[in-house]
């Protein structure tokens, strides 16, 4: 019997943020600094065999550029979204056409925020639990 293999597309930019502030405070700081308009969504839910976990989740899009930003907490009351990156407090996913030169500048500007201790690029393809980052 043959099985059909399917590979998900992890072709997005992923930035890990170290931040001790609440999600709404970070979203506010990002909105102010970058003139974004992050909007809080219903919790992002990951369901495993034994329990569900809810993570705070914000979205912002620039429709005419087909550019989508997602701000996700890495922590819930029951665990981590990406367990192998327990050092990261939040992730920003940038999905769409995004110039490499702008990415380095964006990470530097994120790191300059008072609310952010540090921002680092993360390669989603190297994460064991990368499927948790697939936005539907």
Determine the pLDDT at residue 5.
44
Q: For all residues of the chain together, what is the average pLDDT?
A: 88
- Claim: this prediction has a pTM higher than 0.85: yes
Q: What is the mean pLDDT of residues 31-52?
A: 90
- Domain for residue 73, yes or no? yes
pLDDT, residue 134, reads 78
Tally of domains within the chain: 1
Token pair 């495993």 is at which residue?
48
Which pLDDT band, with edges at 50, 70 and 90, does 9 fall under? low
**Burial of residue 45, with CB atoms counted within 10 A of its CB: 0-12 exposed, 13-18 middle, 19 or more buried:** exposed
Residue 121 pLDDT > 70, yes or no?
yes
Kindly state whether residue 76 falls inside one of the protein's structural domains.
yes
Which of the four pLDDT bands, split at 50, 70 and 90, describes residue 4? Answer: very low
Does a structural domain hold residue 8?
no
User: Does a structural domain hold residue 54?
Assistant: yes
* 2 within domain boundaries: no
Give the pLDDT band (50/70/90) at residue 117: very high
| Angle, vertex CA 55, rays to CA 103 and CA 127, nearest 5 | 50
5 part of a folded domain: no
Could you tell me if residue 75 is inside a domain?
yes
Residue 27 lies in a domain: yes
The DSSP element (H or E) to which 29 belongs, if any, is helix 23-34
Domain of residue 123, residue span: 13-133
């Amino acid at each position: 019997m043959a099985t059909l293999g399917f590979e998900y597309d992890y072709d997005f930019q992923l930035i890990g943020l170290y931040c001790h502030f609440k999600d709404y405070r970070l979203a506010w700081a990002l909105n102010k600094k970058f003139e974004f308009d992050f909007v809080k969504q219903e919790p992002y839910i990951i369901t495993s065999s034994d329990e569900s976990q809810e993570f705070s989740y914000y979205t912002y899009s620039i429709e005419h550029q087909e550019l989508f930003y997602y701000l996700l907490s890495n922590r819930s009351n029951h665990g981590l979204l990406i367990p192998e990156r327990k050092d990261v407090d939040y992730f920003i996913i940038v999905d769409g056409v995004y110039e490499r030169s702008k990415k380095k500048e964006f990470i530097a500007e994120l790191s300059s925020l008072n609310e952010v201790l540090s921002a680092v690029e993360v390669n989603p393809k190297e994460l064991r639990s990368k499927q948790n980052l697939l936005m539907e």
